[in-house]
Structures are given as C-alpha cells and as structure tokens.
Amino acid sequence: MAAAFVLDRASILERLGGDEEIYAMMVDMFVADVENNCTALATALAAGDVESLKRAAHTVKGLLATFSDDDGAVEANFVEKNAREDELANLGPAVADIQSRLREVSAVLSAGQA
C-alpha cells in the first residue's frame, strides 16, 4: 500500500516554470476527469479489454507522475505492465487501489487550490 499523497506544490510549480495558471488548469482538469479515469480502468478490467486497460493505466500513470505522486505512478505502471502481458486475472485489487489513489490525489489537489 502506498504512503499517503502529500502535495508538493512548489516542486510542481518549479517544473512548470512557476506558471500558476497552468498549474491551476492542470489541477482543474485532473479533478474534473478523476471519475472518468476511475470508470475507464474498471470498465476495461471488467470487459477483459487489454488495450483499453493498458491505455487507461498509462494515462493515469502520467497524470499521477505530473503531480509528483511516485507511489501512485508505480501502482499504475504495475497495472499497465500486467495488461501489456495480458495478465488481468488478479488485477482487481490493484485497479481498486489506483481508483482510491486517484480520488485521494484529487481531494488533496482540491484542498490545495482553496
């Protein structure tokens, strides 16, 4: 299980050249899409759709990495790797963990915007 997500806003802003507007836009997009991303992962897994699961996990991995969530990105990479190898049988708990992580990160980001 991953450690709790801690927002390192300064580090993220540094990578964005200090652009507060881009940061705010990225946070808004992440928060707005979190449930769509959770649904995409669950739907792909339930359907046994390897390509869709691989794509959804890759997308989530990038989103979490953008916000310096290395632990979450590692979890998403695990799902992506297993999907790539067509090993979906035991990914239910991993997908559930990623969904929880996405929601956690979204809540922290939303609170950090206030």
Which pTM was predicted? 0.92
Sorted by where each starts, the structural domains of the chain and their CATH numbers stand as 16-113 (1.20.120.160)
Q: What is the pLDDT of residues 34-57, one digit of tens each?
A: 999 999 999 999 999 999 999 999
Quote the DSSP letter at residue 87: -
User: CA dist 90 to 25, 33, 84, Å?
Assistant: 36, 26, 14
Query: Tens of pLDDT along 51-100?
Result: 999 999 999 999 999 999 999 999 999 999 999 999 999 999 999 999 99
Task: Report the C-alpha gap between 89 and 52 in whole angstroms.
Answer: 15
